[in-house]
Amino acid sequence: MTAGNNGADTPENDDPFGYLYRAEGGEGGAPGSAAGGGAARQPGVPRTSYNQVRAVGERQYGAQQTQQQAYGNRNAHYAAPETLPGSERTRSVPAQGYGQEPRRRNGLLIGAVAVVAVVCIGIGVAMLTNGNKDKDNTADKTGPTAGASVAPSKEPTAKPAPGELPKQDAGSLRLDGGATTAKDVPGARSANGTYVAGMNTPGASATWTVDVDKAGPYKLWVGYGVPGKDANLTMTVNSKADPRPISMDNFAHAPEGAWDKGWTRSWSLVTLNKGTNTVKLSCETGNQCEVNLDKVWLAQPGKKK
C-alpha cells in the first residue's frame, strides 16, 4: 500500500475520528470535497474529510421538524367536543348497548314486584271483605245463648198506615227494673226474634209510648210466652194503674217448662187520649210474672184482634 493511492496524505489525517473536531470548511472539509458537498473524490487522491463537521447538538433535522410543524398547523383548528363551552367534559358516552341490559333487567324486576304487590293487596281486601260478610251472616243466623240479653231498640215507633192502629215489637219498648231483651227462646213473633225477658223481677217493666188519632176505648193486645203455666202483669195507662191485672194464661196449653211452646196472646180494654199515651206492663206485688213479651198492638173494641 502506497501513500499516494491508499493511505492518508499525512499521519494526522489518517485519524478516523477527525471529523468530530475538524472545523467545517477547514482541512479535510473544504468545499470541493465529497463530504462537503463539492466534487466527487478522485481515485488516488487522499480523503481529506469523512463528513461535514458540525458541533455536537447543532445538527438540525429539518425534515422532521418541518413535518411536525406542518402536522401541528394542520391540526391547530381541531378541538375535542368535550372541551367546547357548555359541554360536559367528564361525561362518558357508553358504547351502543353497554349498560342497557342491566337497566332493562332492573325495570322488569321492579315491574314484577309491583304486580305481585297489587295482587297481594287485592287478595287481602277480598279476604277482609269476605270475612266481614261472614261475620254479618253469622250474626244474622245465630243469637245469644240462654239467659243472654239484647239491647232494646232505640228506634221510634213506626207510624201505622192510614186506617191501621199502632203495633210494635216488645223489644223496642222502654225497659226498666231489670227487664231486658233476649232471643234464645225460639218462636217469638217479633221481626228478629227478640223478646223482653226478666219480667219476673219485682219492679221490672216495659213501657209503650203510643199515639192515636182520637180518644176512646181500645183493645190492647199483648203477645207473650209462658213456660206451661199461667201468669199476669199490672197494667198502668197514662200513670193510672188498672186494679185488674192483664191475664196471661197458658192458652197455648204448653207443657210445663216448655217456653218455646207457650207463645200466645191476650188483650185488655184500655181508654186512651187523643195524641200521645203511655201504657206500662210491670211486675208488682201479687203478680205472677214468669212471662216473656214479644209484641204489643192496638185494635178497635169490636174486632177480635
Average pLDDT over residues 75-94: 51
pLDDT (tens digit, 9 = 90+) per residue, 96-132? 544 555 666 677 778 888 888 888 888 877 777 666 5
pLDDT (tens digit, 9 = 90+) per residue, 24-70? 544 444 444 444 444 455 565 555 555 555 555 555 555 454 444 54
- What are the backbone angles phi and psi of residue 206, rounded to the nearest 5°? -130, 125
- Helix (H) or strand (E) run with residue 282 in it: strand 275-282
Pairwise CA distance, residues 282 & 276, whole Å: 20
* Confidence (pTM): 0.50
- Structural domains of the chain, with CATH: 1-82 (no CATH), 167-299 (2.60.120.260)
Among 42, 38, 47, smallest CA distance to 14 is for 47
Confidence check: pLDDT of 95 > 60: no
Task: Compute the mean pLDDT over every residue in the chain, rounded to the nearest whole number.
Answer: 74
Write b or e for each residue in 123-147: b if 16 or more Cβ atoms lie within 10 A of its Cβ, otherwise e: eeeeeeeeeeeeeeeeeeeebeeee
Average pLDDT over residues 76-95: 51
pLDDT value for 108:
77
pLDDT value for 114:
83
Confidence check: pLDDT of 7 > 90: no
Average pLDDT over residues 249-260: 96
Q: Compare 19 and 270 and report the one with higher pLDDT.
A: 270
C-alpha cell at 166: 199502632
Among 218, 221, 223, smallest CA distance to 277 is for 218
In 3-state terms, the chain is what percent helix, strand and coil (to 5)? 25, 25, 55
